[in-house]
């Protein structure tokens, strides 16, 4: 559907859990986090009902995320059910990759066509420092296995921040050299624990890459549903992408809405504005009524994020694993 600012909204990111098997320093505290209870989290039936209304409103693409989506019990069954909804054309997944290798075949068979795997370092000790788990080898193995799967497209997402891992940019870019894997460098956003890190801009990252590889060539074909801008490096099998929400605001073309694990329809990552769909469903709202209130909410999607502002009653103050990344 089209919102009041003439943006076509066709993409829903669903957080299926706020739990995670990692504790990335910019996303979740190491200890003391209280996760949603079984009753608080949306059931599969509730997620499906919401997806059916979303599909009626023209949402055709679903991304499953979290927390870590692969820790949710019977996740593959959920993928299958969403895939069966009329109007849903594509289901994709964002994962830290730790549990991916064993589930890959079933995920693809259930309908996942693209997988984004998050990886911020290629150094084993640094991986453990960032995520608090010694899991680098497992993730690299999952990337390698997924890259060879004929029916799934892989992207690696690397959050880059100053004095955190900008020295890894060249090494991470090499992942796109021999395999048709796109690597996307993500500017850290001032959300949750990410506020403690310093953003390094897309232009600064390009400078680092160009010093080593020469001029990057813009790649203008569409690759996925997101705001990433892609470039080519001569001789590389995959593309190099940048998601630069901070240095190049792309809100004007934003095509997405989000559903949190506890059933809140979020109209913007950085805003608390939205609708408590779980409450409405548990009060007995019908599918048709749900579609109507979702249409009204989506139409009023906020104009843009407010990353530059320190505070405001509508500014999201939750951590990323609770919002759904």
Annotated binding-site members for GTP: 13, 94, 155, 256-258
The answer to whether 26 contacts ligand SAM (rule: CB under 6 A) is yes
Per rule CB under 6 A, is residue 161 in the interface with ligand SF4? no
Q: Considering only residues 158 through 197, tell me which ones interact with ligand SAM, judged by CB under 6 A.
A: 159, 186, 188-189, 191-192, 194
Pick the closest to residue 280 from 14, 50, 41 (CA basis). 50
Question: Counting contacts by CB under 6 A, is residue 120 touching ligand SF4?
Answer: no
Closer of 49 and 94 to ligand SAM (Cβ): 94
Which one of residues 103, 121, 157, 182 is an interface residue with ligand SAM (CB under 6 A)? 157
Taking the least distance from each CB to ligand SAM, the nearer of 20 and 290 is 20
CB closer to ligand SAM out of 1 and 133: 133
Does the protein bind ligand SF4 through residue 67 (CB under 6 A)? yes
- The residue (of 5 and 23) whose beta carbon lies closer to ligand SF4 is 23
Which is nearest to 90 in space by CA: 52, 64, 117? 64
Chain positions 251 to 310 lying near ligand SAM, rule: CB under 6 A, are: none
CB of 262 to ligand SAM, least distance (A): 15
Known binding residues are 13, 20, 24, 26-27, 67, 94, 118, 155, 189, 251, 254, 256-258, 268
Site membership for ligand SAM, residue 131 (CB under 6 A): no
The option from ligand SF4, ligand SAM, none interacting with 28 (CB < 5 to 8 A, set by class) reads ligand SF4
Cα–Cα distance, 180 to 325 (Å, whole number): 24
State yes or no: residue 107 binds ligand SF4 (CB under 6 A).
no
The three-state (H, E, C) secondary structure of the chain, written as one string: CECCCCCECCEEEEECCCCCCCCCCCCCCCCCCCCCCCCCCCCHHHHHHHHHHHHHCCCCEEEEECCCHHHCCCHHHHHHHHHCCCCCCEEEEEECCCCHHHHHHHHHHHCEEEEEEECCCCCHHHHHHHHCCCCHHHHHHHHHHHHCCCCCEEEEEEEEEECCCHHHHHHHHCHHHHCCCEEEEEECCCCHHHHHCEECCHHHHHHHHHHHHCCCEEECCCCCCCCCEEEECCCCCCCEEEECCCCCCCHHHCCEEEECCCCEEECCCCECCEEEHHHHHHCCCCHHHHHHHHHHHHHCCCCCCCCCCCCCCCECCCCHHHHCC
Both structure tokens of 103:
């589930």
Taken as a whole, the chain contains a residue count of: 325
Selected binder of ligand SF4 within 9, 12, 16, 27 (CB under 6 A):
27
Q: Which is nearer to ligand SAM, 25 or 57 (CB)?
A: 25
Stretch that binds ligand SF4, among 45-53, 63-71, 104-112, 232-240 (CB under 6 A): 63-71
Best CA proximity match to 307, nearest among 277, 268, 273: 268
Cβ closest to ligand SF4, residue 20 vs residue 175: 20
Query: Which residues, numbered 106-125, are part of the site for ligand SAM (CB under 6 A)?
Result: 118
Instruction: Give the residue with the Cβ less far from ligand SF4, 119 or 297.
Output: 119
Contact pick of 9, 12, 20, 267 for ligand SF4 (by CB under 6 A) = 20
Interface with ligand SAM (CB under 6 A): 20, 26-27, 65-66, 68, 94-96, 118, 157, 159, 186, 188-189, 191-192, 194, 320-321, 325
């Amino acid at each position: 559907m089209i919102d009041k600012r003439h943006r076509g909204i066709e993409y829903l990111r669903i957080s299926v859990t706020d739990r995670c098997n990692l504790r990335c320093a910019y996303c979740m505290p190491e200890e003391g986090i209280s996760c949603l209870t079984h009753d608080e989290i949306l059931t599969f039936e509730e997620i499906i009902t919401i997806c059916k209304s979303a599909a009626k409103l023209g949402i055709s693409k679903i991304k499953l995320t979290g927390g870590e989506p692969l820790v949710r019990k019977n996740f593959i069954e959920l993928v299958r059910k969403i895939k069966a909804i009329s109007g849903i054309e594509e289901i994709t997944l964002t994962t830290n990759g730790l549990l991916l290798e064993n589930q890959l075949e079933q995920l693809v068979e259930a309908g996942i066509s693209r997988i984004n795997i998050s990886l911020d370092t290629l150094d084993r000790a640094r991986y453990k420092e960032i995520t608090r788990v010694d899991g680098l080898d497992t993730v690299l193995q999952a990337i390698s296995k997924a890259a060879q799967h004929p029916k799934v497209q892989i992207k690696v997402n690397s959050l880059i921040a100053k004095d955190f891992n900008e020295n890894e940019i060249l090494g991470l870019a090499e992942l796109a050299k021999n395999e048709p894997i796109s690597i996307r460098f993500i500017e850290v956003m001032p959300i949750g624990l990410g506020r403690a890190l310093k953003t390094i801009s897309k232009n600064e990252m390009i400078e680092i890459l160009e010093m080593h590889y020469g001029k990057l060539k813009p790649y203008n074909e569409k690759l996925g549903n997101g705001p990433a801008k892609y470039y080519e490096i001569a001789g590389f099998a995959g593309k190099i992408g940048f998601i630069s929400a901070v240095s190049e605001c792309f809100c004007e073309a934003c095509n997405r809405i989000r559903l949190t694990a506890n059933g809140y329809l979020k109209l913007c990552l950085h805003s608390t504005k939205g609708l408590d769909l779980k409450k409405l469903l548990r009060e007995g709202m019908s599918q048709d009524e749900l579609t109507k209130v979702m249409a009204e909410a989506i139409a009023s999607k906020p104009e843009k994020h407010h990353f530059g502002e320190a505070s405001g009653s509508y500014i999201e103050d939750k951590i990323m694993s609770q919002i759904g990344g």
